[in-house]
Amino acid sequence: MGKYTLIVTEKPDAAARIASALDVLGKPERNQKSGVPYFRAQRNGEIVVVPAIGHLYTITSRDKMRGYPVFDYEWVPRWQAEKGASKIRTWLKVISELAADAESFVDGCDFDIEGSIIGYTILKYACGEKQQVAKRMKYSTLTTEELQQSYERLMPKLDFALVEAGLTRHEIDWLYGINLSRALTTAAKEASGQYATLSTGRVQGPTLRFLEEREKEILCFVPTPYWKLTAKISMNGTTVAAEYPETLETLKEATELKEKSKAKQGKIEAVKVTESLLSPPVPFDLGALQSEAYKLFHLTPMRTLTILQRLYIGALISYPRTSSQKLPPSIGYRSILKKLRANPAYNRHTAELLTKKDLKPNEGKKIDPAHPAIYPTGNLPQKPLDDAPRNVFDLVVKRFLAVFAEPALRQNVDVTVSISGVPFGFSLARTLSEGWMKFYKPYVQVKDDALPTLSEGQQVYVKRVTLKEHYTQPPPRYNPRSLLQKMEKEEIGTKATRAVIIETLQERKYLRGTDNFAVSALGFEVVEVLQKYCPIVVSSEMTRNLEERMDLIQQGKENKQAVLAGAVETLKTATAELRTKEKAVGVQLSQALQRARLEERTVGFCPNCKSGQLLILHSKKTGKRFVGCNNYFQGKCSTTYPLPQTGMVKPLANPCKSCGAPVVSVYMRARKPWRLCLNPQCPSKGAAKP
């Protein structure tokens, strides 16, 4: 076998696409060695494309003891540090063997921090220090055209500034995670004698703090009453609700105004007509797309990211892990629109945009030096997509179309009505020109009101005036969308890691609920411990400062060793404080863990005896689990419900609508969770739809 160029890619699907794009016939030879796939392509010589399977190397402590603090670490193959990663050993062996016969090397991994680290570590450790001579592919889509251009215009060397920033981020996150998590876990285990994984980290801590602060606001909130005065009025056959413009804080004032406004007729005092242009939306960056997908389809940020990755690998969209809101002309606006036109769903709107002399997107301010905003490549799915991927793909396409469209024009009418001298007001609006909104339907919804003839001095008929008591509301709990937005606003985490952090907080049982996050007892205690003994660990300011310094490394303006040294000093102080207070910390956390375990088993109030709690229990005789009332142990209640014996069971807050019995969510491996009413005699036949 002659010499060849070895291209290292991030995943097998990407390797197949790159090999297919680069082979002159588009038919690379697929090979396999010890279960590891690789491809041979011909293009001005032989090319071998070999994939990784994500990160093949990781960080571990040189000292194999399980204590803390830990500051001496090294990068090693994952199979040496992680259980269940044995196939990584074979994978690296095959890559090393392929590297031995290669004459040149190319890093073909995704052009971002994670991809750069994957390529760099493979070239350095598995290929024998080839990171110094390797060239770099840079692409934002996996389309044939862009991959060919990327190979023809190889960067002469690796993106070392991006690599340094990535290595720094991984090493700092590892240092924070391993030291703080071990400190908490060790303290709890020493106090209770039971092992339970407790974790926190550089981004996890401040994020949990946001949630804890909001939960305290909600728990401490005291509702106060206020009153709203509303008049139902009719004019020219149209009935509207007009409101007194101010919040009424006392019942006396509200009642007096209501009595004063008792009349059969009123008069229009003022009509203000304005027109407003609504600019098209800006292109999607990852955070905005995750936020929109949650709002529209109720997809979690992590689920959306997984779907986007699949669409990217399928060459249907551009690289999703971007913070850019820019679409450069180099992506070929017209070419993309022409390809999308082949889909009947987009034919009419793409045809309309193609008649424009100039295609200019309405761009946002955010810039990402590595990639443009998320956009469709123009390629259409070769086979039908499932519901969620289809929805996300459609959203990306329609957002792309909308950014090239004209502004929408809305007319707003603000009316002031006097009833016995008491002012009331109402507003009506309608769309004069849809502009971009017709391209973005059904993802934009605006209300168009019927506008009757209105003029100052016009008489209106008063149907009734009502006074209604309201109460001030606490701030809402964070949901996946609003928490993602909060993290982005506070500039903690990265576009690629924020969704993972949210899932980790849920997995650690620091949160309850999947939509509106309530902080669990355990979550409260973890934040309290960290705030008491090492407050800097939950400081968003500290985390933001580190993010800024790592960005400066990426720009070549900051030194990796200086950033690491600062992080280590902070950690030394924090871990020393936790060590001296280990006993107190352990007692506090072990008690919280006990409450968390009970909280996890609690299904809700017993619907029969009304005073007991329903708990998930195990039979001493059979070992089977079931739900029973804790009043059983006092001989007061014998309520029980059967449970499925496989899968993870999570209690849900609301009882069954049909029978009032408790409802749980059952999680089975490789299946979507499903809701189950525990009452076998339930009219809904026991199970609600998944």
User: With 50 as the cut, is the pLDDT of residue 689 above it?
Assistant: no
Mean pLDDT of 619-638: 85
The tokens for 635 are 């001989």
Predicted pLDDT at 678 = 83
User: With 60 as the cut, is the pLDDT of residue 85 above it?
Assistant: yes
Q: Active-site residue numbers?
A: 319
Please tell me the distance from the alpha carbon of residue 557 to that of residue 549, in angstroms, as a whole number: 9
Q: Give the tens place of pLDDT for each residue, 569-625.
A: 999 999 999 999 999 999 999 888 888 888 778 888 888 888 888 888 888 888 888
Q: Give the tens place of pLDDT for each residue, 388-423.
A: 999 999 999 999 999 999 999 999 999 999 999 999
User: With 80 as the cut, is the pLDDT of residue 187 above it?
Assistant: yes
Please tell me the distance from the alpha carbon of residue 655 to that of residue 661, in angstroms, as a whole number: 6
Among 530, 649, 654, which residue's Cα sits nearest to residue 592? 530
Q: Of the ranges 45-49, 256-260, 426-430, 593-597, which one carries the lowest mean pLDDT score?
A: 593-597
Q: Give the tens place of pLDDT for each residue, 266-303.
A: 999 999 999 999 999 999 999 999 999 999 999 999 99
pLDDT band (50, 70, 90) for residue 451:
confident
Predicted pLDDT at 31 = 97
Mean pLDDT of 101-129: 96
Helix (H, G, I), strand (E, B) or coil at 179: helix
Strand partners, 648: 667
Q: Give the tens place of pLDDT for each residue, 463-480.
A: 999 999 999 999 999 999
User: With 70 as the cut, is the pLDDT of residue 686 above it?
Assistant: no
Q: Considering Cα of 79, then 84, then 88, then 89, what sign does the dihedral take?
A: positive
Mean pLDDT of 641-652: 83
Mean pLDDT of 487-494: 91
Q: What percent of the chain has pLDDT over 70?
A: 98
Identify the structural domains of the chain with CATH numbers, from first to last: 4-158 (3.40.50.140), 171-219+478-547+582-594 (1.10.460.10), 225-280+408-471 (2.70.20.10), 286-403 (1.10.290.10), 606-677 (no CATH)
Helix (H, G, I), strand (E, B) or coil at 215: helix
Neighbours of 357 (CB within 10 A): 4
Q: Which residues, other chains included, contact 252 with Cβ-Cβ below 8 Å and sequence gap of 6+?
A: none
pTM of the complete model:
0.86
Burial of 466 by CB count in 10 Å (0-12 exposed, 13-18 middle, 19+ buried)? exposed
Neighbours of 85 (CB within 10 A): 17
